[in-house]
Structure 1
Amino acid sequence: MGKIASIEVIPLAAPDAVADDLDGTTDTVIVRLTGDDGQTGIGECDAPPHVVKAFLEMPTAHLWSRNVNEILIGADPIEAAGLWQKLYDGTFWPGRRGLGIHAISAIDIALYDLAGKQHGVPAYKLMGGARRDRIRPYCTIFPGMPHGRGIEVLMKEIGRQFDCAVDLGFRAVKMEVLFDDLVTDRELVELIRRGRKMLGDGIQMAVDFGYRWHNWHDAFWVLDRIKDCDILFAEATLQHDDLDGHAELAARSGIRIGGAEAAATRFEIREWLTRGKVGVVQPNIGRGGGLTEIRRIADLCELMGAEVVPHGWKTGITSAAGRHFHAACAPSPVFEYVSPKVFDSLLRRELVSPEPEVKDGFMALPDQPGLGIELNEDLVAKLRTTSR
């Protein structure tokens, strides 16, 4: 099989990006690996594109701060776990848990895509094979940040997206309630109850609070009043690094507490499980270490009786990686899916294809080699940036 012959780092940015919103699909950075057999593999990470590009192209300074080409060129892409360790060791000094892990994540995803194509198998088979016979996405429902809109306008948009997701076949959703100071906590309780009533009892519903609270008492006050709403999990309740607060909340809440969407590597996730005591960890595959590391995280969660539901608000590359993760990793009840038919985004809609169909809440296992997606080269040429 072909060895890695070249590495390309491609920053992209959509022309209609809104800087004061929270849409992670407005830009991305693609890592494309090309084998000496002509096959290519792609990955992405969720981090500032030009900073990632600078990191991956920096010259070698010493053994702990190496240019990634020195590690990857001539390597066999099927040795993803071994290459992950070499990349981690070789960029330890400038990287470790931050941007360096994000950059490695994109490379790692691209390795699985390339190796899968070279060997003619879907990426999940390279992760050990399927742990389920079909996969279950949840659709994230995000009306955007308020930007002067009233709460009724936002709830109307949430209702529209709910209806669209259900019509598309989703049977699990996540309601984003990033309403800033438009509502009090008491009013938020009623809005979540409205959301549950809109969906009905047959649809699973998680809630993302967008780091609303700075102490666990306030978070618990709300969660205790919606505990009869059949909430799948509560995401981003407290400030990200408040592990002790998460532990206090998890010990009292009847709703499973999620967290760690900004965490990197199994080492940080272990802290969320042992100190933060959360029941659901949510690291982004494109930030937390790629498919190699998310598999290790899943094994850790399986051992500790927790669940892993990765954050996945990015382009179709991340969505494809999420499908293969979910296929191969048992302790995952659902995985995040940004549907381009529910939330409109140029990069999410057009960067890669095809888009799998959802039937009665499930997708079929991926059956194409690698990630099973094709890059839209015309869009890449159009949106490629040299600065941002």
Structure 2
Amino acid sequence: MSMPTIKHVRAFTLRGGGADYHDQGDGHWIDDHISTPMAKYPEYRQSRRSFGINVLGTLVVEVEASDGTVGFAVTTGGELGAFIVEKHLARFIEGAKVTDIEKIWDQMFNATLYYGRKGIVLNTISGVDLALWDLLGKVRQEPVHQLLGGPVRDELQFYATGARPDLAKEMGFIGGKLALQHGPAEGEEGLRKNIETLATMRERVGDDFWLMFDCWMSLDLNYATRLANAASEFGLKWIEEALPPDDYWGYAALRQQVPSGMLVTTGEHEATRWGFRMLLEMGCCDIIQPDVGWCGGITELIKISALADAHNALVVPHGSSVYSYHFVITRTNSPFSEFLMMAPKADQVVPMFNPQLLDEPIPINGRMKASVLDKPGFGVRLNPECQLHRPYDH
């Protein structure tokens, strides 16, 4: 059959949860006194929304083929991302064959190199890339995981990120990751409270359940080292994103200083094969955690994963629902997945990108059969009840 070309690309914004999962209302665990790089300022310590973590909103990218097939994806990026898609990237997408994903990625990346490389531009490129993979899967009537070579296991297993690892254990997850609540600015008392929280959870879940700390770029080397050593008594499995993303030297030092057997993980806010090359070659971490909606999309994640495999490092993508599930199920060096508990009290399993996606699969007893992903593309639909806003066109 002749391969369709891409006729239109469109960029929309959405508000309220979904891909910008920090865009939540009051009373959500994800916004409750979590240690951040801004926590050094008391007025921005209690809530991440107070310093603007939710200002971007969701970016929705749609790509329509000449045969009428439409692929789409969601990520963060909002109006800034929509501008980049409509005013700059569209020229590399429209008119190309649906199969020209590698060429489109290379053109988008190099054309934005002078103002991009990471951050909002790579979020946007990621959103386009995921939409292109969704479109190709729909045109070929195959799930994305088949396009990537097919599953290497029959099911995915998950750990849960949220405020209640004890409840996550009851739900069948293999581990629970806590958002660290108190950073260096809160001194010895804050450090003591962090360890008390960990100790309480260890008592509740027993010895064999994984417990981890997500530090969200908020610590310095000294504090992170002290935290890791104090947490060792309570069997902390890993310390995640303890330092700012660009402090490769600090991560390399931290990995040498944590207790034997404790893992150092990072990469959620890293982008492209070049950023991850730094982490891997400098010995910064044991597990890299790229977000497929931020690191460059599936096209780039393939390269990042291959690089990690050559360094004997695991790839456990940052929670991104179906966009990472289709990848993880095809990679032997991605043995488990993250699931973000988006229920406000972390007391039930709900779709991560709710309400923006329909047909989004969720773990059952901490597992997900590969067959659940056997739908064309990424297998999800945009919720028609969500109000799309197209701030720009071309």
Please state which band the TM-score falls in when normalised by the shorter chain.
Answer: 0.7 to 0.9
Which of 210, 221, 231 is matched with 1:204 structurally? 210
Using the TM superposition, give the Cα deviation of residue 21 of structure 1 relative to its aligned residue in structure 2, in angstroms.
7.2
Using the TM superposition, give the Cα deviation of residue 168 of structure 1 relative to its aligned residue in structure 2, in angstroms.
3.5
The within-5 A match list for 1:4-15 is 4-14=6-16
- Residue deviations 1:170-214 (CA, integer Å, cap 9, x gap): 222211122353943233223212122222234322211233422
Matches of 2:255 and 2:25, distance apart in 1: 36
Which of 47, 65, 87 is matched with 1:35 structurally? 65
Q: Secondary structure at the match of 2:199?
A: helix
Matches of 2:364 and 2:156, distance apart in 1: 11
The within-5 A match list for 1:68-87 is 68-87=89-108
Q: Any gaps of 5 or more consecutive residues in structure 1?
A: 59-66, 142-157, 313-317
Matched-pair contact (CA < 8 Å) for 1:138–1:334: yes
Find the counterpart in structure 1 of residue 231 from structure 2.
226
Find the counterpart in structure 1 of residue 190 from structure 2.
184
Find the counterpart in structure 1 of residue 168 from structure 2.
165
Using the TM superposition, give the Cα deviation of residue 79 of structure 1 relative to its aligned residue in structure 2, in angstroms.
3.1
Q: Secondary structure at the match of 1:377?
A: coil
- Give the residue type in structure 1 aligned to 2:100: E
Structure 1 pair 287/118, CA: closer, same or farther in 2 (3 Å)?
same
Using the TM superposition, give the Cα deviation of residue 338 of structure 1 relative to its aligned residue in structure 2, in angstroms.
2.0
Matched-pair contact (CA < 8 Å) for 1:25–1:348: no
Which of 2, 5, 10 is matched with 2:4 structurally? 2
Find the counterpart in structure 2 of residue 148 from structure 1.
none
Matches of 2:116 and 2:239, distance apart in 1: 30
- Give the residue type in structure 1 aligned to 2:294: R
Using the TM superposition, give the Cα deviation of residue 135 of structure 1 relative to its aligned residue in structure 2, in angstroms.
1.1
Matched-pair contact (CA < 8 Å) for 1:17–1:26: no
TM-score normalised by length of structure 2 = 0.81
Structure 1 pair 206/23, CA: closer, same or farther in 2 (3 Å)?
farther
- Residue deviations 1:41-95 (CA, integer Å, cap 9, x gap): 1122333x1111122222xxxxxxxx32221112222332232112222322232
Find the counterpart in structure 2 of residue 132 from structure 1.
153
Structure 1 pair 261/343, CA: closer, same or farther in 2 (3 Å)?
farther
Find the counterpart in structure 2 of residue 110 from structure 1.
131
Structure 1 pair 17/168, CA: closer, same or farther in 2 (3 Å)?
same
Using the TM superposition, give the Cα deviation of residue 223 of structure 1 relative to its aligned residue in structure 2, in angstroms.
0.9
- Give the residue type in structure 2 aligned to 1:173: G
Which of 80, 88, 93 is matched with 1:51 structurally? 80
Q: Secondary structure at the match of 1:379?
A: coil
Find the counterpart in structure 1 of residue 178 from structure 2.
175
- Give the residue type in structure 2 aligned to 1:232: K
Structure 1 pair 356/56, CA: closer, same or farther in 2 (3 Å)?
closer
Using the TM superposition, give the Cα deviation of residue 304 of structure 1 relative to its aligned residue in structure 2, in angstroms.
0.1
Query: Greater CA deviation, 287-296 or 277-286?
Result: 277-286
Matches of 1:288 and 1:236, distance apart in 2: 15
Structure 1 pair 235/244, CA: closer, same or farther in 2 (3 Å)?
same
Residue 242 in 1 paired to residue 244 in 2? no
Find the counterpart in structure 2 of residue 122 from structure 1.
143
Matched-pair contact (CA < 8 Å) for 1:196–1:229: yes
Using the TM superposition, give the Cα deviation of residue 106 of structure 1 relative to its aligned residue in structure 2, in angstroms.
0.3
Q: Secondary structure at the match of 2:145?
A: helix
Q: Secondary structure at the match of 2:181?
A: coil
Using the TM superposition, give the Cα deviation of residue 374 of structure 1 relative to its aligned residue in structure 2, in angstroms.
1.2
- Residue deviations 1:360-385 (CA, integer Å, cap 9, x gap): 4321111111101111022134xx37
Matched-pair contact (CA < 8 Å) for 2:309–2:333: yes
Find the counterpart in structure 2 of residue 319 from structure 1.
321
Matches of 1:122 and 1:108, distance apart in 2: 15
Matches of 1:208 and 1:241, distance apart in 2: 17
- Give the residue type in structure 2 aligned to 1:28: T
Matches of 1:229 and 1:90, distance apart in 2: 49
Matches of 1:351 and 1:117, distance apart in 2: 19
What is the percent sequence identity of the aligned residues?
A: 26
Count, aligned residues? 352
Q: Secondary structure at the match of 2:275?
A: helix
The within-5 A match list for 1:221-370 is 221-253=226-258, 254=260, 255-312=262-319, 318-341=320-343, 342=346, 348-365=353-370, 366-370=373-377
- Residue deviations 1:230-279 (CA, integer Å, cap 9, x gap): 33321121222221111111012231111122111010111011225211
Matched-pair contact (CA < 8 Å) for 1:264–1:283: yes
Matches of 1:133 and 1:298, distance apart in 2: 20
